Amino acid sequence: MMEMVLPVANATAAALARDSAVFNAPLARAVVFGIHIDGHLIVEGLLIAAILFQLSRKSYKPPKKPLTEREVDELCDDWQPEPLCPPIKEGARIDAPTLESAAGPHTTVDGKEVVNFASANYLGLIGNENIIDSCVGSVEKYGVGSCGPRGFYGTIDVHLDCESKIANFLGTQDSILYSYGISTIFSVIPAFCKKGDIIVADEGVHWAVQNGLQLSRSTVVYFKHNDMASLASILEKLTHGNKRTEKIRRYIVVEAIYQNSGQIAPLDEIVRLKEKYRFRVMLEESHSFGVLGKSGRGLAEHYGVPVEKIDIITAGMGNALATDGGFCTGSVRVVDHQRLSSSGYVFSASLPPYLASAAISAVNHLEENPSVLANLRSNIALLHKELSDIPELEIASNILSPIVFLKLKTPTGSAVADLELLEIIAEKVLKEDSVFIAATKRSSLDKCRLPVGIRLFVSAGHTESDIFKVSASLKWVAASVV
């Protein structure tokens, strides 16, 4: 065995000796411009040159050969296109109950009469005879639609009357009508806020506000939900020692009553911070207009803040006024800017005239019957009292909010699981006790991360027995489900 190994070892040693002699030769230790060049540098240089040579060569491309008709047909048969939308997951389908009558305090759902706490009919004006009469007269005079945007022969005198009515009611200089409530805020925000501007917004704003923020392409910073310490901290960080911030437009965007929680924004503190840090305030009042304040004029009246301190106010008219469309109100300059710059106003067919007539009649009703606000607040207080002792659920909303927001007292840790429990409660309350309520189901586009819950929309038209009924039903159903 040793006799076979020794010749191989000797040959290897001889080869190593030859390589060593090559690299130790005088040429390998040449001096160029005073620099000693070792043998390994020469080898590395040759390798680099070889790599560069290979990289510089043109790649080989096989000649193109056209496909036969048979091959094309086979490829077409094998091709599977991507779906236009992802498949709907189990449990994600929305099978909403169908209303078969007006969405008043009592309505008909799937053939059954129910008590309705799922419609934001705050003043109980759905079915009001004066409003219906005004709509009938408007349809007879103007027809149903306007068949044109406001700037292209779609402006009708009743639109101007409605804008004037809202401005006079709120004490602002001017107003502008929009055709669709939810499009109001996400048209107004990008009309004023552009790329490079700064928007500080509450993290609990609903989807329409989120969409407006995204369309504006502004720099958006969120503060903790209804937390003024968080808002003040962010405003301080953005402005302290930053001269660039002083030269760009800056906005605070909040909701008066948050749709996703029922909380009320502290407008007095927001205005104080706005003036201290020189921001503009954009206030969304879809759930507070016609509800808050001594005469229903909204959050400014509720806090006693002069309305001119709020730069831009928007609201949908589909809640308290029981009509449709929306409006923005403020200074003449703010309103006139939107008539050429707001996409929802410029490119949409104007609000159907009968809906503008309904809005005027609804505001007139509120001015002539202020007691309706007392009825609404009495119902809200009674519902809070009746629901305060449910072991499984807790009230997260403000005592003055017509949105009574219930969330799980002990969450599961998963928003999906929480929502499933809440939907089971809502479905069982409807099926067993004929009470129509709704869980806060959100789309995949909604980025709000506040806890999910059950929203009860309280109406001035509800009776005490309605409130006792929904309270009793929620108590026993929640105990059996959670």
Q: Percent of the chain having pLDDT more than 90? A: 72
Give the domain CATH number at 447: 3.90.1150.10
Q: How far apart are CA 283 and CA 258, in angstroms?
A: 11
Q: pLDDT tens across 274-284, in order?
A: 999 999 999 99
Q: Mean pLDDT over all residues of the chain?
A: 89
Q: How far apart are CA 364 and CA 157, in angstroms?
A: 18
Of residues 199 and 244, more confidence is placed in 199
Nearest to 352 by CA among 146, 157, 158, 184: 146
Q: How far apart are CA 286 and CA 412, in angstroms?
A: 31
Sequence-ordered alpha helix ranges (H) in 278-352: 299-303, 332-341, 343-346
Q: How far apart are CA 92 and CA 274, in angstroms?
A: 41
Q: What is the pLDDT of residue 28?
A: 46
Last residue of a domain, one of 312, 337, 368: 368
Q: pLDDT tens across 189-239, in order?
A: 999 999 999 999 999 999 999 999 999 999 999 999 999 999 999 999 999
Does the structure show a pLDDT above 70 at 465?
yes
Average pLDDT over residues 413-437: 93
**Whether residues 262 and 374 fall in one domain:** no
Q: How far apart are CA 405 and CA 420, in angstroms?
A: 16
**Whether residues 358 and 242 fall in one domain:** yes
**Whether residues 184 and 305 fall in one domain:** yes
Q: What is the pLDDT of residue 45?
A: 77
Q: If you search the block for the tokens 């009708």, which residue do you land on? A: 156
pLDDT grade, residue 410 (50/70/90)? Answer: very high
Q: How far apart are CA 478 and CA 418, in angstroms?
A: 13
Does the structure show a pLDDT above 90 at 259?
yes
Whether 331 is in a domain gets the answer: yes
Q: What is the pLDDT of residue 61?
A: 66
**Whether residues 215 and 328 fall in one domain:** yes
Domain count across the chain: 2
Q: What is the pLDDT of residue 23?
A: 47
Average pLDDT over residues 326-339: 96
Q: How far apart are CA 308 and CA 193, in angstroms?
A: 20
Q: What is the pLDDT of residue 71?
A: 86
At residue 436, what is the residue type? F
Task: Determine contact, residues 198/191, Cβ cutoff 8 Å.
Answer: no
Q: pLDDT tens across 361-388, in order?
A: 999 999 999 999 999 999 999 999 999 9
Of 7-16, 48-57, 132-141, 169-178, where does mean pLDDT reach its minimum? Answer: 7-16
Does the structure show a pLDDT above 70 at 426?
yes
Q: How far apart are CA 126 and CA 372, in angstroms?
A: 13
Q: Which two tokens stand for residue 26?
A: 């005088």
Phi and psi at residue 293, to the nearest 5°: 90, 160
Determine the straight-line distance between the first and last CA of the chain, rounded to whole angstroms: 83
Whether 6 is in a domain gets the answer: no
Whether 35 is in a domain gets the answer: no
Task: Determine contact, residues 117/458, Cβ cutoff 8 Å.
Answer: yes
**Whether residues 356 and 462 fall in one domain:** no
Whether 86 is in a domain gets the answer: no
Task: Determine contact, residues 318/358, Cβ cutoff 8 Å.
Answer: no
Of 10-19, 160-169, 406-415, where does mean pLDDT reach its minimum? Answer: 10-19
Phi and psi at residue 414, to the nearest 5°: -130, 125
**Whether residues 415 and 344 fall in one domain:** no
Q: How far apart are CA 101 and CA 110, in angstroms?
A: 10
pLDDT grade, residue 86 (50/70/90)? Answer: confident
**pTM of the prediction?**
0.82
Nearest to 447 by CA among 201, 197, 246: 201
Q: What is the pLDDT of residue 2?
A: 46
**Whether residues 283 and 155 fall in one domain:** yes
Last residue of a domain, one of 368, 399, 421: 368
Q: How many residues does the chain have?
A: 482
Does the structure show a pLDDT above 80 at 270?
yes
- Domain housing 229: 129-368
Does the structure show a pLDDT above 60 at 15?
no
**Whether residues 353 and 448 fall in one domain:** no
Q: How far apart are CA 302 and CA 308, in angstroms?
A: 14
Give the domain CATH number at 188: 3.40.640.10
Q: Which two tokens stand for residue 83?
A: 């779906």
pLDDT grade, residue 32 (50/70/90)? Answer: very low
Q: Percent of the chain having pLDDT more than 70? A: 89
Q: What is the pLDDT of residue 51?
A: 84
Average pLDDT over residues 468-481: 95
Q: pLDDT tens across 55-72, in order?
A: 777 666 666 778 888 888
